[in-house]
Amino acid sequence: MAEERETIERFWAACDKGEWDVFAGLLAEDVIYRAPKSRERVRGREAVVRFNREFPGDWHLAVEDLVAGEGRAVSRIRFEMVGETGTDTGISFFTFTEDGLISEIEDYWPDPYERPASRAHLSELY
């Protein structure tokens, strides 16, 4: 368990700092990245490093939550474009090889939305 948690902490720290050799070292050779809601896919270590290294903009991220166990992990990050107001939330599901390398990454980016009037009586707003 601790190992998967540590790998994901190192993954995001390397991504934020642009330490691409460290980042690459955590990925399986045939790692697959998917963003199911935009139907984006990136295949293989080199392409996944490039996707992150060349991801447009001047950005930073910080891990807000991390759940790890049973050869899996899920993180929630705060993603910030320098000079823009507001931040995005990224949720990533990770799968690992038996050697502890990352073999699958699945990303979700939930946006803010208005509570529908139909359930206004069931919750409070904060």
34 sits in which H/E element: strand 27-35
Least Å from the CB of residue 22 to a copy of itself: 20
CB of 104 to a copy of itself, least distance (A): 11
Nearer to a copy of itself, 98 or 114 (CB): 114
- How many beta carbons lie within 10 A of that of residue 8, not counting itself? 22
List interacting residues with a copy of itself (CB under 8 A): 1, 5, 33-43, 47, 50-51, 54-56, 65, 67-70, 72-74, 76, 89, 91, 93, 108-116, 118-119, 122-126
Which residue spans within 72-115 are E strands per DSSP? 72-81, 88-96, 102-108
Beta bridge partners of 89: 78
CB 114, min distance to a copy of itself, A: 7
- Say how far apart CA 70 and CA 90 lie, in whole Å: 22
Q: By C-beta, is 3 or 29 nearer to a copy of itself?
A: 3
